[in-house]
């Protein structure tokens, strides 16, 4: 029987570049080659998912790297079926590395006769044999409680802080962090504290979903370089409107740092035509060609953080240590 001498990585089709990046970083950290387990994740003609693992995984500590981004249903089914294949192949432990956890926005009943899909997905993940989840910037922190298993929720704010301090080196006195809504104040406050910057809020009122009736700025942004921080950017309508409102209230520049660049529909076109000087996202979701070619969109790597988190989980050391700049700084040295 194999021992848990090394963590083993396997990936679906959702974000293969990130999976390979994590394997490369782990190779650097371990001083030995770490590759992805040889497997195929394909479709039958009727689009059923088929998984076959070519390597022996009996007794191994397996990490499935699979964000549940667009197409969310296909990628979720890949994750569940890969887990079932590994469980039936006698893997010792299965951890799901889900850089972007889809369905997280459906975390409560906002109206009568609506689902709590985040809880449903959590139940499906547990039923598939997954014993631990590693993710980044859940839409709502309480989603961790939907799982009856350990959930490690990494934060992008330490990476953002390192990048902001590098990009605005020697010129950070006029920075101001902006929360695009009242619900995101805790996230914005965390980043503001890391870079020692003041905080303001863009308060929006919706008449109905997808439409913004009014936006007001709480705080004085006159003469400030504003940095909007949020977890998800989908169609970018709210983000671009918030940037316009900030400029109307006297901001001299507007930048945005968003963890998960969903960027669906007209999002990329809106961002490129907006008053924002830059939109910075992570690679938790694989970037489309349009995103990669956009002049004012920049992508930060998460592979160094995820690679270290996987190693920490495997060897039983602290994952929360990665929230500290002193720990994360050396990992990202020469990258940002």
Catalytic residues: 204
Residue with tokens 């994740």: 41
- Residue 24, C-beta contacts closer than 8 angstroms, at least 6 positions apart: 34, 303
Residue 331, both tokens: 């990992």
């Amino acid at each position: 029987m194999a021992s848990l001498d090394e963590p083993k990585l396997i990936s679906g089709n959702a974000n293969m570049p990130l999976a390979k990046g994590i394997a490369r970083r782990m190779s650097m950290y371990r001083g030995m080659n770490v590759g992805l387990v040889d497997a195929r994740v394909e479709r039958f003609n009727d689009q059923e998912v088929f998984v076959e693992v070519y390597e022996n995984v009996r007794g191994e500590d397996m990490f499935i790297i699979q964000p549940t981004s667009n197409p969310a249903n296909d990628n979720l089914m890949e994750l569940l079926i890969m887990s079932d294949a590994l469980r039936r192949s006698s893997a010792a432990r299965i951890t799901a590395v889900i850089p972007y956890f889809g369905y997280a926005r459906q975390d409560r009943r906002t109206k009568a006769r609506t689902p709590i899909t985040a809880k449903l997905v959590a139940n499906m993940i547990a039923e598939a044999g997954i014993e631990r989840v590693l993710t980044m910037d859940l839409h709502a922190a309480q989603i961790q409680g939907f799982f009856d298993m350990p959930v490690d929720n990494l934060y992008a704010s330490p990476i953002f802080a390192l990048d902001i301090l590098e990009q605005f080196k020697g010129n950070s006195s006029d920075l101001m962090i902006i929360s695009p809504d009242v619900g995101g104040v805790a996230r914005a406050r965390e980043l503001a504290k890391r870079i020692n910057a003041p905080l303001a809020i863009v308060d929006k009122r919706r008449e109905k979903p997808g439409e913004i009736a009014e936006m007001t700025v709480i705080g004085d942004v006159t003469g400030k370089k504003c940095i909007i921080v949020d977890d998800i950017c989908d169609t970018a309508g709210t983000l671009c409107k918030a940037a316009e409102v900030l400029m109307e209230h006297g901001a001299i520049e507007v930048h945005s740092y968003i963890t998960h660049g969903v960027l669906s529909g007209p999002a990329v076109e809106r961002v490129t035509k907006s008053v924002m000087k830059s939109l910075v996202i992570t690679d938790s979701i694989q970037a489309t060609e349009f995103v990669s070619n956009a002049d004012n969109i920049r992508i930060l790597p998460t592979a160094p953080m995820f690679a270290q988190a996987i190693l920490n989980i495997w060897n039983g050391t602290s994952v929360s240590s990665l929230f500290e700049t002193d720990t994360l700084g050396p990992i990202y040295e020469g990258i940002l």
